[in-house]
A and B are shown apart, each in its own frame.
Chain A
Amino acid sequence: MGGPRRSGTRRRILDRLGLALIVALAILAVAPLFHILYVITLRGAEAIAHIGLKRFIVDRPHPFNAENPGGIGPALLGTLELSAATSATATLIALPAAILVAELRGSRISRLTLLLALTLVELPTILVGLTAYAILVDHIVGHYNMLAGILALTLVILPYIVVEASESLRQIPAGLREAAYSLGAPRTRTIYEVIAPAARRGILVGILIGLARAAGETAPLLFTIGGAYEAYHTCLTSEGGAVPLMIYQFIQMPFKPARELAWGASLVLLLIVVSIMVVARLLVREVRL
Chain B
Amino acid sequence: MAGYALEVRGLHVWLRDKHVVKGVSFRCPEATITAIMGPSGTGKSTLLRALNRLIDLNPDARVEGEVLLRGESIYDMEPYELRRRVAMVFQEPNPFPHMSIYDNVAIGPRLHGLARDRRELDKIVRWALEKAMLWDEVKDRLHDSPMKLSGGQRQRLSLARALALKPEVLLLDEPTANVDPVNAVKIEEAIRDLVREEGVTVVFVTHLPSQAVRVSEYLIFMYDGRIVEHGPSREVALNPRNPLTERFFRGEL
Residues of A within 8 A of B (CB): 173, 175-186, 189, 193-194, 197-198, 200, 288-289
Contacts and interface: CB of A to CB of B under 8 A. Distances in A.
B156 to A, nearest CB: 14
Interface stretch (B89-97, B117-125, B214-222): B89-97
B158 A183 contact: no
In order of increasing CB-CB distance, the 8 nearest A-B pairs are A184-B83, A184-B80, A175-B94, A182-B88, A184-B84, A197-B98, A179-B94, A183-B108
Category for how many chain B residues contact A: 20 to 34
Looking at chain A's contact residues, is the secondary structure mostly helix, strand, loop, or mixed?
helix
Contacts of B72: none
Given A181-B54, A183-B165, A186-B80, A173 B108 contact: no
Nearest to A177: B57
B223 to A, nearest CB: 25
B101 to A, nearest CB: 15
A106 to B, nearest CB: 8
Contacts of B158: 179
Nearest to A182: B88
A183 B111 contact: yes
B170 to A, nearest CB: 11
B9 interface: no
Interface in B217-235: none
Given A184-B81, A193-B107, A176 B87 contact: no
Contact of A184 (B92, B96, B111, B147): B111
B67 to A, nearest CB: 16
B88 A189 contact: no
Contacts of A193: 107
B12 interface: no
A184 B112 contact: yes
Interface string B190-216: 000000000000000000000000000
5 contacts: A175-B94, A181-B83, A182-B52, A183-B108, A184-B111
A231 B94 CA distance: 56
A181 B96 CA distance: 12
Nearest to B110: A193
A181 B98 contact: no
Contacts of B81: 184
A225 B83 CA distance: 55
Nearest to A194: B96
B161 interface: yes
Contacts of B95: 179
Contacts of A173: 94
Contacts of B99: 197
Contacts of A194: 96
Contacts of A179: 90, 94-96, 158, 161
Given A189-B111, A288-B147, A182 B83 contact: yes
Given A173-B94, A183-B83, A197-B98, A178 B165 contact: no
B90 A183 contact: no
A191 to B, nearest CB: 13
Contacts of A184: 79-84, 108, 111-112, 165
Given A173-B94, A198-B98, A185 B88 contact: no
A198 B97 contact: yes
Contacts of A189: 111
Interface in B98-141: 98-99, 107-108, 111-112
A146 B88 CA distance: 54
Contacts of A183: 83-84, 87, 107-108, 111, 161-162, 165
Tell me which of B79, B84, B97 has the highest count of chain A C-beta atoms within 10 A of its own C-beta.
B97
Instruction: Name the residue in A183, A194, A288 with the highest tally of chain B Cβ atoms < 10 Å from its Cβ.
Output: A183
A176 B54 contact: no
A200 B97 CA distance: 11
Contacts of A178: 54, 57, 90, 94
Contacts of A289: 97
A181 B57 CA distance: 9
A193 B107 CA distance: 9
B96 A176 contact: yes
Nearest to A107: B59
A235 B92 CA distance: 55
Given A183-B165, A184-B112, A289-B97, A175 B90 contact: yes
B111 to A, nearest CB: 5
A176 B146 CA distance: 13
Contacts of B96: 176, 179-180, 194, 198
A288 B161 CA distance: 22
Contact of A185 (B80, B97, B147): B80
